[in-house]
């Protein structure tokens, strides 16, 4: 959920500042870009050099930088606009009070007042300070502004006392940010089934019939669905690709029959199914248990039909939004529309091998999206990652209509 997000971390002068090194590492590991703004007192608890090394961005402490006799200005407005999320952790009683009353006497506070993004604050102070009426009033006022509080936890405090006031652990802060983003995702709570890659149909222990599909389009669709909050089941034929997103469960198969079995194990439970795999239509009638030896003359192989996975899903679908793919070489639009209707689909994605940049083995694709009302929307050649975004925009606009 945090991948690609710009997160601005504000650090104030409390002993819990040492935990921000772990927080920065977790945010970076989650794929976020992190910039740090600290107060001067915070630098007494954790060094700017440590945080700059971890975040790979210069740490900002003041409005003006002086280096080698030259001056430069840290633009708090640009920082506030850069951030997708701002987190102030630890947030001391002093800084929280200033935030609540609009006091602007350092770069962190100026940036907070300029931020257009959601702002989270994680209080950290001793238990008597945390329970003080003025502190509680500050919490209420900041939340009335739309800021989001990450409550302090109970535990051992710097004073030696035990109680409420300990800054939330870095893992808790990251979880709060992740939950906030996922709640706004258009596929949050949706379960998605995607098929990808080729199928291999065995001839003997060493040979198979297959096709040139690399699985890239299906994997890009799975990754973007996961980014949009979906729980994704990816049924993949043999590929060199790997899906690492925590919301994706990959099930590897080899043959069309194996894909059929796995798809129907999960199809009844999903909200959206996208059949992007290039499934073999036929398989050898018999599979030799020994390597077929070369003989004089030609070799004939008797073939039988594989089960039609997409058609069977179309027959069984109830609540699911079902999307198929059509890779065509002639009469492309007519053939795609026919497949859409024969297989009871909600939409179909048309590829033409006559279009440069489309088809197997490329990082690009050129598609047309056709819905069940036969509305056609065409797209220019784009990377498959960009095509996945376009496809999901079209699907989401229809499932939320």
Rounded distance between C-alpha atoms, residue 199 and residue 210, angstroms: 6
Beta bridge partner(s), residue 341: none
The residues annotated with a catalytic role in the active site are 211
Rounded distance between C-alpha atoms, residue 16 and residue 92, angstroms: 10
Rounded distance between C-alpha atoms, residue 119 and residue 117, angstroms: 6
Rounded distance between C-alpha atoms, residue 245 and residue 141, angstroms: 38
CA distances to 5, 241, 268, 385 from 225, rounded to whole Å, are 17, 17, 19, 11
The DSSP-derived string for 366-397 is: -EEEEETT--EEE---EEHHHHHHHHHHHHHH
Strand ranges of the sheet holding 85-91, from the earlier edge strand across to the other edge: 33-38, 6-11, 85-91, 119-123, 148-149
Question: Tokens for 248?
Answer: 């994706």
Instruction: Please state the separation of Cα 82 from the chain's center in Å.
Output: 20
């Amino acid at each position: 959920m945090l991948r690609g997000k710009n997160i601005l971390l504000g650090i104030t002068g409390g002993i819990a500042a040492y935990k921000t090194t772990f927080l920065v590492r977790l945010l970076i590991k989650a794929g976020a870009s992190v910039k740090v703004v600290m107060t001067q007192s915070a630098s007494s608890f954790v060094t700017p050099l440590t945080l700059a090394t971890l975040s790979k961005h210069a740490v900002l402490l003041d409005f003006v930088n002086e280096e080698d006799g030259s001056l430069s200005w840290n633009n708090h407005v640009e920082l506030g606009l850069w951030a997708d999320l701002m987190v102030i952790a630890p947030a001391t009683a002093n800084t929280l009070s200033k935030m609540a009353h609009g006091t602007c006497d350092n770069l962190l506070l100026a940036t907070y007042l300029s931020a257009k993004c959601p702002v989270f604050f994680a209080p950290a102070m001793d238990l008597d300070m945390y329970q003080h009426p003025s502190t509680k009033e500050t919490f209420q006022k900041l939340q009335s502004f739309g800021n989001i509080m990450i409550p302090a936890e109970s535990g051992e405090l710097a004073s030696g006392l035990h109680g409420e006031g300990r800054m939330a652990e870095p893992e808790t802060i990251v979880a709060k940010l992740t939950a906030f983003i996922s709640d706004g995702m258009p596929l949050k709570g949706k379960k998605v089934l995607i098929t990808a890659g080729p199928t291999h149909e065995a001839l003997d222990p060493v040979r198979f019939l297959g096709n040139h599909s690399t699985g890239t389009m299906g994997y890009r669709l799975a990754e973007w669905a996961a980014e949009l909050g979906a729980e994704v089941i990816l049924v993949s034929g043999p590929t060199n690709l790997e899906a690492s997103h925590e919301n994706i469960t990959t099930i590897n198969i080899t043959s069309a029959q194996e894909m059929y079995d796995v798809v129907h194990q999960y199809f009844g439970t999903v909200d959206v199914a996208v059949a992007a795999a290039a499934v073999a239509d036929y398989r050898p009638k018999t599979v030799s248990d020994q390597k077929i030896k070369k003989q004089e003359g030609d070799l004939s192989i008797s073939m039988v039909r594989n089960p039609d996975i997409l058609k069977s899903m179309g027959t069984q679908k109830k609540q699911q939004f079902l999307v198929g793919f059509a890779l065509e070489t002639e009469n492309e639009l007519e053939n795609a529309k026919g497949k859409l209707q024969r297989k009871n689909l909600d939409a179909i994605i048309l590829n033409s091998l006559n279009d440069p940049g489309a088809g197997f083995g490329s990082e690009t694709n050129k598609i047309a999206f056709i819905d069940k009302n036969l509305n056609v929307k065409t797209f220019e050649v784009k990377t498959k990652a960009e095509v996945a975004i376009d496809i999901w925009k079209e699907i989401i606009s229809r499932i939320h209509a």
